[in-house]
Amino acid sequence: MKKVIIIGATSGIGRELAKLYSLNDYEIGIVARRTELLTTLSSELKTKTYAQTMDISDTKTAISSLNDLIRQMQQVDLIIISSGTGHLNDSLDWKKEKETINTNVLGFAAMANAAMQYFIQNNSGHLVGISSIAGIRGSHIAPSYNASKAFVSNYLEGLRIKALKKNMPIIVTDIQPGLVDTAMAKGDGLFWVAPPKKAAKEIYKAIRNKKKKVYITKRWAIIALLLKIMPEFIYKKL
């Protein structure tokens, strides 16, 4: 039986992925900050489940906890990092900026680093990070969020190249969602908002197909292209 760890498993995309992998006969390691939500999710999953309470922004403890979870499960084929936070922060409240950076940059890097170390040691594995289409350009109302998601994509690319240079069969996948109906979808005038279940199904398929990078849902590839080529004088008016 294959085994997966999902970090950030108790809400949104992470929760739907946990249920989907359980339905597909994976043993599941679920990781999140809130123990009570982990307990609830564990009771809903059909396959053997390991639960680990963890705050990834506490990087030293988080790395140790992830390594402990891997040891408990004995072997892990796939690690998905779905944890993240963000704020609409037009006032540039530093507390909000710092929280986003601590989770989305430091916390993500700590988990990705520990996962990659494990996969390199075992000469196999699949690392998946949930970044965002927001990482393509900067944002005046959520500067740290967009910048942090750019970091996630860049870090994953670096790890993918590292695996190639080492000639190791390690897959690294960057998932770049557009808008998904979770707590992260904030603001007015939202469009093309995907239900978490639909997003999870597309992500599951992309992981199974060992994609390097994929936009969720597929139509967001159009927006990604437009964002990449859009001149600054137009973008700043949005």
Long-range contacts from 90-99, C-beta under 8 angstroms, 24+ separation:
90/140, 90/141, 92/143, 96/144, 97/143, 97/144, 99/57
AA identity, residue 212: K
Instruction: Name which of 171, 172, 145 is nearest 157 in CA terms.
Output: 172
User: Residue 60: CB partners within 8 Å, gap ≥ 6?
Assistant: none
pLDDT averaged per 10 residues in sequence order, the chain, 238 residues = 96 95 97 96 96 97 97 96 94 97 98 98 97 96 97 98 97 94 55 83 97 93 92 87
Residue 77's contacts (CB-CB under 8 Å, 6 or more residues apart) are 2, 3, 4, 124, 125, 126
Query: Which CATH number goes with the domain that contains 104?
Result: 3.40.50.720
Q: Which residues contact 62 (CB under 8 A, 6 or more apart)?
A: 54, 55, 56, 107, 110, 111
Number of domains in the chain: 1
pTM: 0.93
pLDDT value for 238: 82
Q: Which domain holds residue 20?
A: 3-235
**pLDDT for position 64:** 97
- What span, in angstroms and rounded, lies between the C-alpha atoms of 196 and 130? 13
pLDDT score recorded for residue 153: 98
The predicted structure's pLDDT at residue 191: 56
Residue 187 is predicted with a pLDDT of 46
- Can you tell me the distance from the alpha carbon of 19 to that of 31, in angstroms, rounded to the nearest whole number? 14
